[in-house]
Structure formats: C-alpha cells, structure tokens
Structure 1
Amino acid sequence: MNLSLKQLRYFVALAEAGSFGRAAESVHVTQPALSQQIKEMEAELGVRLVERLPRGARLTRTGQEVLERARRVLAELDDLERAARLSRGLSGRLRLGVIPTVAPYLLPLALTRLRARDLTLDIRVREARTETLLVALEQGRLDAVVVALPVPGAGFAAEPLFEDRFVLAGSAARLSRWAESAESLRPTALAPDQLLLLDEGHCLADQALEVCGLRGRGQVDLGASSLATLTGLVAEGFGLTLLPEIALRAETAAAPTLSLLRFAGPEPSRRLALVRRKASADDGWVAALASILRDAGAELLGAARAVRP
C-alpha cells in the first residue's frame, strides 16, 4: 500500500469542509487536484470513501472509519514535528489556543513577555471556545491551550496557572441594594431574570450559572458573544453579570460608569490551566510557558485588586 500524507491531509480536509471546493481552498490546491488525490486514495484502498453529491460530499461508513485513523496518523506526525520544534525548550514555533474570556486580557501581556524572552519564537494563536480548542489539541493542530478546569478526557495533562475570581458588575443603581450588606453577598442571591450571560457554549456562562445555583437562563437572555458587550450593557443598567478579575482593568477603562462588588468569601472563581496532550513531548517548554502566563496573570490580578479591593 502506498498512501501519502498528502492524501491523508486532503481527505481530512474534505471530511471537515463537506465539499471539494471548500476543502481545496483550505489546503491551497485546485479542486481537480484534490479530487484526483481522493480518487487515487480510494483506488489504493480498494474502497469507496466519499459519496459525491450535487452540493457537497459525504463520507461513506468506511470513509468514517478511515477518517478516524487518518486523524490519528496525522496527530502522531504532528507530535513528532512538535517534539523536534520544542526539543530545546520554548523555541521554534508555538501554536497556542486560548478561550475568548481570557485571550483579550492575558495575551497582550503574555505575548510581550514571550517576545522579550525570544524574538525568534514563531507564535501562532487561536481564540476559540473550550470544546473547539480541545479538539484541535487532540488532533495535534495546537501545542497547548489555556482553558478553565476541569478538562474532560483522559488524554490531556493540565498545568495549573492561577485562580481567577468573579466579581458582580452592574450600574451603581443596580448594585446599591447590596452595598450595605456586601460582606454577606453570595451569588445565589442573584435573580436569574437579572443575570446577563454569554452565548451558550462559553464555559464562563456555564460557570456563572453553576456558582449562582441556577439551572437555566432568565427571561432576559441576550446571549452576548463577548465580555465587552456584557460590560457595556450592565454599565448602563441593563441587568447584572459576573466578570472575571483578569478582565477588570480593561473593562472598567472601557466603561467608566461600571460599578463592581466583591462577593463574600469564599469568593466564586475559576481555575485556569495550560493544557497539552499527555502524549506530546515536554522538554521544559511547558514549564517555561506556564511561568510566563502566571506572571502575566499576576499582573492582571494585581490590577484587579487596585480597581476593586
């Protein structure tokens, strides 16, 4: 059998894109070239992998089985390439994934520190939700990801970074009812119809519901796509939200009318971690990267204490 890595990559691209045109665009080849490689792959295996439809392509049952194995082969190859790139510690190319409620705040500081450490480091960053990042990590398309714990799946190793506490954010008028009893304020005291959350699928929204003891969203549910949107809304009196400490410096600067209250101890929080595949080699780059991320986080948390002691 004489399958090529090119054929495997083209086949995976076709499976993910769902059409020959989009797949060809994603791997930067012409559609006829990609189609020919898939045909040669089918001939080599002696099976039909793809159902060619008028408006796309669909994998056969055998194609689905081959897809799983192709992804494993490519992931192992990426692990080999990653081990070579990172064999001298944190150098070469780094492909890092970060969740959206962390990226805008942590990355500017962390990337500055990474550049100061090594100007030759080629950094590729992807911002996406936890589920998407973990799939990319598992498939070898990312070296590591910054997400909130816990992380599902036994194939990952987590390096804890820091604890990121939540504060209650809203207009001064909205928060005035708790101002005199802030020492006893708990998330469970919040009414669900006042709490504004991010879109479903954001881990921060799920964490907010959990710490508030809520099973679902309230009647007023905007499902915002960013913390900046939520901050602007609650600053103008349209409900309340929970903000992580690492966001306080940036969001209070953008919304000067925003008011904040801390919850009574123990304050609700999330634990952020640097996660990699257990199978990937670690020659010191994980500890070096985690140290830089912790330093950046410490600066943000210090600024948060200054904004809201």
Structure 2
Amino acid sequence: MPRSKIELRHVRYIIAAAESGSFRRAAQDLGVEQSAISRRIRDVEDEIGAQLFRRHPAGVDLTDIGKQFLNQAAPGARQIGSALDGARTVANRGRHLRIGVFGPLTMGFLSELFGAFRGDRPGVKLRFSEGSCPELIAAVRRGQLDVGVVAEASPGKGFDVTHLWAEPVYAALPDGDPLADQKALRWDDLRDRHFVVTDLPTGDFAKGYLMRNLQTSPGDLQIEQLSVTRESLMQIVAHGDGVTIAGSAHVRHGVPGITFRLIEDAVLRYGAVHPRGALNRNLERLLALAKSFSERDDAWFARQRLMRPEHRRVPHVDCHRGARGRTPDRLQ
C-alpha cells in the first residue's frame, strides 16, 4: 500500500472548514491563505477518490463520506492537538532559569550580567536562590538548578565550569585599627586577631577559608560565628568588635567605619557550574554573555577591583578606607 501524504494540517483544515461552513472563514480562523485550505482539502479528496465537501455559493457542507471521515479523523487530530498544547505548557515552564549564587548579586559582574540577559531575553524569568558551594553544585547535579555561581569549587564528572572572574580578598578592619596603616597585609599579620563571620553559607565558607590560610591549630583560632546578616556583621566590625574578610563588592561600595586592606596572594576564583554537553538556549545565552564579560580588558577589571579569571596573583591595590554605601548580603 502506497504511503499516504495526508498530514495533520490537512485534517485541521477539514475540521475548520466543516465548523465554519466556508473555506474563506476557515482560512481567516487559521491565519492562512484560502488557496491553501482549498488545495489541502483537494489533496485529501484526490487521495480517497471522493468529495468531502459540497461547494455552493453560500459556502460548503460535508458530504456523507466527509462526515464519516471527520468522525474518525477528528478525535485523533484533537488528541494530537491536546498533546502539543501539553508539551508547550511544559516547554513554557522552561521559560525561566534557576540560578544559584554563593553570596550577594553584587559580587563580581553578576548584576551587570543579569541585567544584560534580561535586556536580551525579556521573556525569560530569572529565579535566584542562595546556598553554599557544595549545596549549589549538588542542586545542579540533581537538576534542581540550571547553573550555580560558586567559588573555588570543582563540579565533578559530567559537569563543567565556565570561569567568570577572580578577585582579591581583603581584611575588613575598624577605622583606626593599627593594621589600617599598612598598605597590604600578610596572613601572619592576622593570625592573632579575633575574626567574626556570619552563620550564612558565605560565613561557613569564610570560616573554612580562614582556617586553611591562617595555618594555626584549631585551638588557637579566634573565629566567632554570629547569627547576623553580612551587613550587620560589617557594623559589628565598624564598632570594633572583631575583624573579618571581604570581597571586592564591599570595597567598591565602601562601608562607613571600615578600612579594607588587601591580603597578599589571597585570591578567590568564581565560576558558573553547569551540565556538560547540550544546554537549553537560554542557559547557552547566559553563559555566552558571561564569557563576553570575562573577556573584557584588564582596565575594566581593575576599575571593578576584579581580575580576569586566568590571573593567578593579586595586583597592587591602593588603600581603601570606609566610604558611604552598603552591600546587601542576601538575595531579595
């Protein structure tokens, strides 16, 4: 038996013509030319060897054969249409990107990156969540996040990292602290200081980072973990109740009462963890924009107090004392 050339659109055209009683009105309803309706219906009539419609000046009516054909074909066509609608609904749920971020959206060039993406893809919603680096990587691996922005982490087999930027680590000191007179600090200068960090994921990371770099026995470390926001933590430091470490975002914006000092050879590298291989188009576009930001010239990175991701050493940075401006520490 020769293969039929009848397609789903042929049946759709027949249903529309039967319901409207007119090829012209069917064409208007479907947004196609009337000649396309006539031609496709004629294709079906030629294949079965009989007319489906009676043509008359007022329009068209189904013949008995047309009624029989429609009674058998319409349910299948409608079922396929329903399946397509369901698939579109699921696809439309993908009109968002689930993004996990380790820290505030003011980090690095994230705010500018997400602004550029929204301008390029206004119909795509960005849904943010915050977590620790291990939590974000696990969520990407489980398919709960499309991408995770993490620091100093490897995602493991089957996943990739798009390198974004690197940034120096600073000591945040109260104005008037003896160490504030130095242009840059070494870890040895900070070994006996009382550190305060939050109990947020960024605070957990900061505690581990300090323990690795201070190279002091756990009993000698003075790290106090507080149930406060990052912003409140900075106020605690400004009041002289401890010191902490901070990234470039705080230095760019400044915090009243705090002096930031560069810690020599202390660098954090940030990257976007995502599945390896074929990605959805929206994620591909976000990563392409991120790559374009990461390839900006050194002068732009220096203005942002960042470094291109391939840099390995901290450049010279001048002194930064407290200035007006605050940095939110949680995603809103």
Same fold (TM over 0.5): yes
Alignment of 1:270-289 (within 5 A): 270-278=268-276, 281=279, 284-285=284-285, 287-289=287-289
> Structure 1 residue 186: deviation in Å?
0.5
Alignment of 1:18-97 (within 5 A): 92-97=95-100
Aligned: 1:129 with 2:129? no
SS at match of 1:153: coil
Q: In the alignment, residue 126 of structure 1 is paired with which amino acid?
A: S
- Which runs of 5 or more residues in structure 1 are unaligned? 1-80, 86-90
Spell out, residue by residue over 1:41-66, the C-alpha distance to the aligned partner (whole angstroms, 9 max, x if none).
Answer: xxxxxxxxxxxxxxxxxxxxxxxxxx
Q: Which residue of 1 aligns with 2:105?
A: 103
> Structure 1 residue 107: deviation in Å?
4.4
* Structure 1, 133-142 or 188-197: larger mean CA deviation: 188-197
Q: Which residue of 2 aligns with 1:197?
A: 197
SS at match of 1:308: coil
SS at match of 1:168: strand
Q: In the alignment, residue 135 of structure 1 is paired with which amino acid?
A: A
- Residues of 2 paired with 1:199 and 1:135: CA distance? 20
- Residues of 2 paired with 1:224 and 1:289: CA distance? 36
Aligned: 1:153 with 2:156? yes
Q: In the alignment, residue 175 of structure 2 is paired with which amino acid?
A: A
Preserved contact between residue 158 and residue 274 of structure 1 (Cα < 8 Å): yes
> Structure 1 residue 300: deviation in Å?
7.9
Q: Which residue of 1 aligns with 2:266?
A: 268
Aligned: 1:290 with 2:302? no
Aligned: 1:246 with 2:258? no
- Residues of 1 paired with 2:258 and 2:169: CA distance? 15
> Structure 1 residue 293: deviation in Å?
5.9
Q: Which residue of 1 aligns with 2:320?
A: 308
- Residues of 1 paired with 2:245 and 2:112: CA distance? 23
Q: Which has the higher helix share?
A: 1
SS at match of 1:113: helix
- State TM-score, norm by structure 1: 0.58
Q: In the alignment, residue 320 of structure 2 is paired with which amino acid?
A: R
Q: In the alignment, residue 308 of structure 1 is paired with which amino acid?
A: H
Spell out, residue by residue over 1:152-175, the C-alpha distance to the aligned partner (whole angstroms, 9 max, x if none).
Answer: 53232111111011111111222x
> Structure 1 residue 281: deviation in Å?
2.8
Preserved contact between residue 168 and residue 242 of structure 1 (Cα < 8 Å): yes
Spell out, residue by residue over 1:134-189, the C-alpha distance to the aligned partner (whole angstroms, 9 max, x if none).
Answer: 22111111111100122253232111111011111111222x24524x45x20232
- Residues of 2 paired with 1:287 and 1:177: CA distance? 40
Q: Which residue of 2 aligns with 1:61?
A: none
Q: Which residue of 1 aligns with 2:147?
A: 144
- Residues of 2 paired with 1:148 and 1:220: CA distance? 21
Q: In the alignment, residue 231 of structure 1 is paired with which amino acid?
A: M
Q: In the alignment, residue 189 of structure 1 is paired with which amino acid?
A: D
Q: Which residue of 2 aligns with 1:206?
A: 208
C-alpha distance 301-244 of structure 1, shift in aligned 2 (>3 A): farther
> Structure 1 residue 225: deviation in Å?
4.8
Spell out, residue by residue over 1:172-221, the C-alpha distance to the aligned partner (whole angstroms, 9 max, x if none).
Answer: 222x24524x45x2023213551222338532332233233245484461
Q: Percent identity at matched positions?
A: 19
Q: Which residue of 1 aligns with 2:52?
A: none
Q: CA RMSD in A?
A: 3.5
Q: Which residue of 2 aligns with 1:179?
A: 181
* Structure 1, 199-208 or 142-151: larger mean CA deviation: 199-208
- Residues of 1 paired with 2:292 and 2:125: CA distance? 16
- Residues of 1 paired with 2:162 and 2:119: CA distance? 23
- Residues of 1 paired with 2:158 and 2:295: CA distance? 27
Q: Which residue of 2 aligns with 1:39?
A: none
Q: Which residue of 2 aligns with 1:30?
A: none
SS at match of 1:247: helix
- Residues of 2 paired with 1:308 and 1:286: CA distance? 33
Q: In the alignment, residue 279 of structure 2 is paired with which amino acid?
A: A
- Residues of 2 paired with 1:133 and 1:143: CA distance? 10
SS at match of 2:224: coil
